[in-house]
A and B are shown apart, each in its own frame.
Chain A
């Protein structure tokens, strides 16, 4: 089946099985390896992407539901040469250890701050709760997001 959608601002067309998952298509067909696979049942969250601005686990998202949608991955936020404010904050607050959950965490933070620029600590926790992290105890991640919300890293 031919499925077209917008990936990081550019239209893409792929001929795939409609039941194939978005995570596999992004990784294997479109070279987006920042999308990680950790559970394949939607419970660890490291495959998170944004669909029309809303975070979603791409490992359980069938391609047929992606038709015509806007998909955003971490590549659209910043690059090593031009980091996004949230990425800068994650570095400064040491919100990164093994890094496997990091793109997903940043995308969830981005989606939250776009909707709610001044979230409470509880709202931040709730927003990142679907992504598991075994390394950091989440605290540096929460602190990094708070710093961005306080405007320390400029507008997002």
Chain B
């Protein structure tokens, strides 16, 4: 498990160094607090009643027996919600508790507040719900058809759709030497953050304190305010440490905080609500399952000249982030490949399945399976090496994407990465060696290249904010709304601030989030915390340095432009003896009325994406990566073991090699589960697993050797040249594994996960 970092020469003190996490001491001692660790006097406990049918009118909810139970304080149903409409990111089709209609099995319909969790649970069993069941639809292709049961507010069940045409696809298919057509399917997946959704609401007269583990505190506050009919200023969201999220504590964070807030407002008492694992599994959002029908046209030497692709995403019962997810999926449908003629159609569809939502990857892991898989198949059809065919078609500096964006302004390094992956993995030797094996155990190796648009891109106009405060002793407080559910944002952003101010990490404190003092930085999502938060915070530190430099120039009798900040000192760069300690300068500034608090703002470069035509620029920069996977397949049991993964990344400059490699290890592990065994199974709209006994994630004994290599091409758009890594770490891992299985057994598995029964079926040729 070696790790190699090709760090560029630099004079940086903290950026690029293995700085320990700022919250590590609290975490290794157990002293740090998560939401469920907070208790308040007079607190009551909330529990949610979930629907037991996938699609029905609610005729009656009878809570009278439940209310009689000793210890029950209050019961809330949908009728108690002050806001009468529905809400949503793009389409208002969501409710925190179902009112007239249940749209999926497990949807919340009532909440009991009681003096203990046990009593609340008992009371749930006494609530009687009368349903009038409605025809339901679970298959997205069926749901798209005219006349299918209507799931939500749209008559046709199409949540959103995108269409892009580039070049002349019909001609490409006519002129092609070879055309291949394949259908790929990916499955529904649960986030499996270890800390369940939780909230404590403390009513304080006219306003509410809400201790929440929401991943996007400001969005949660926004919808909470809407649902409760309260001004934003009266809701204070406090986010302590979050025990993992991966995109998950999003829609469910709104539901759980709103339910607890309704109870708190009704009873005047603090309310604690902690989801059980069963609550999490049955109700919270999942990764969108995709059906992908791809067809490529190529020349006999393996050059791809055309792609026709159809992506259908199962959005479940609410639209949620589906319009954003399919945007990312749609514009990543060509992967990192330069295809001159393209036609892509992408749909997100309502079904009576649990709502699909944001999950690490956000639509791209699915389409990567299809585009990588079909090119891999093309190689086999042509009798060529998959590395060669993929490499031949990779984008270059200045290539034009399917939406017409010219790739410039950053280094398009994917060819370099692919080449490194080939060499590092001994690709040719292993291909040959593995192909010689003829026994029960067959080995295979696969390669998958990737591109990822950095940050939100065309989803919405984009900015970030962050506040920096220099205190009178020279210590630094950061109040930034970009959150740290475990990826290390607090550490990495602290490094960036400390580097620019020339102070040590010891004096920097990145506050826990409080929406009353922290400006809204938009979401902690889309692998954007480092690049967007870093840029915003550097904007703040530069405002502060400008003010401090003015004072320092006078004190040191030099020009303001010559002042530099480094190693705890502020000095004249031409005459380093002319210096003052940073902390002394800070005190002098503050006590002479110079403000050393600044809110930094970074507005992302504008984009021209037009959803109506499916064209334009989609992201202001991109990250690149190549994964190689080696597997062993037991041809008797069908079991697949991942032996080794090489993961090569250009994420710009790596701010912290430790947290960076952690992102890759975690992403690869997530990808292995996606490829081989993770699946949130449904049967007629009913979940088939509610806990970790049946829903398995990768365990320590299953971890393969993972070789990580960072190729640092500092990005001109990023703070110190840094860009995205969290999702690139996952994006094409499963693709490489599927390709390796194809190599090992001579057959491709077209639907994830590649479970033993599917492998055996493929081996038998069924």
Contacts and interface: CB of A to CB of B under 8 A. Distances in A.
A50 to B, nearest CB: 14
Interface residues of B, number: 57
Contacts of A87: 28-29
A94 B662 contact: yes
Contacts of A98: 193-195, 241-244, 485-486
Contacts of B486: 97-99, 135
Interface in A33-84: 33-41, 43-44, 46, 73-75, 78-80, 83
Interface string B699-710: 111010010000
B194 A134 contact: yes
A25 to B, nearest CB: 14
B665 A100 contact: no
Given A38-B195, A92-B20, A94-B662, A99 B243 contact: yes
A116 B25 CA distance: 26
Contacts of A132: 192, 194, 692, 697, 699
B661 to A, nearest CB: 8
B32 A38 contact: no
Contact of B21 (A74, A94, A142): A94
Given A87-B28, A94-B658, A38 B194 contact: yes
Contacts of B658: 93-94, 140
A100 B703 contact: no
B27 interface: yes
B214 to A, nearest CB: 15
Given A83-B29, A100-B243, A102-B27, A137 B665 contact: yes
Q: Which label, helix, strand, loop or mixed, suits the secondary structure of the B interface?
A: loop
Contact of B194 (A74, A100, A126, A140): A100
Contacts of B699: 129, 132, 138
A18 to B, nearest CB: 15
Contact of A90 (B18, B28, B692): B28
Contacts of A97: 244, 486-488, 662, 666
Interface in A102-143: 102-103, 106, 124-126, 128-129, 131-143
Given A44-B194, A134-B246, A139-B706, A91 B665 contact: no
Interface residues of A, number: 53
A149 interface: no
B691 A139 contact: no
Residue picked from A33, A75, A99, A129, most chain B C-beta under 10 Å? A99
B460 interface: no
A142 to B, nearest CB: 7
A43 B242 CA distance: 21
Nearest to B19: A94
Contacts of A106: 28
Interface stretch (B33-41, B363-371, B547-555): B33-41
B23 interface: yes
A148 interface: no
A79 to B, nearest CB: 6
B409 interface: no
Nearest to B23: A99
B693 interface: yes
A7 interface: no
Q: Which label, helix, strand, loop or mixed, suits the secondary structure of the A interface?
A: loop
B28 A139 contact: no
Interface in B674-723: 691-693, 697-701, 703, 706
Contact of A41 (B18, B485, B691): B691
Given A133-B194, A137-B668, A102 B28 contact: yes
Given A38-B194, A139-B703, A142-B700, A94 B30 contact: no
Nearest to A128: B700
A93 B667 CA distance: 18
Contacts of B697: 132, 134
B461 interface: no
Contacts of A22: none
B600 interface: no
A135 to B, nearest CB: 5
B670 interface: yes
Contact of A135 (B29, B31, B662): B662
A79 B29 contact: yes
A79 B551 CA distance: 42
Given A90-B24, A132-B692, A33 B30 contact: yes
A96 B32 CA distance: 13
A143 B708 CA distance: 15
Q: Which 7 A-B pairs rank lowest in CB-CB distance, beginning with the nearest?
A: A34-B30, A98-B486, A137-B665, A99-B27, A100-B243, A43-B692, A94-B658
Interface of B: 1, 18, 20-21, 23-34, 36-37, 191-196, 241-244, 246, 274, 276-277, 485-488, 658-659, 661-662, 664-670, 691-693, 697-701, 703, 706
15 contacts: A27-B37, A37-B196, A44-B277, A91-B20, A96-B21, A100-B193, A129-B701, A134-B192, A134-B697, A137-B666, A137-B669, A138-B669, A138-B700, A140-B662, A143-B1
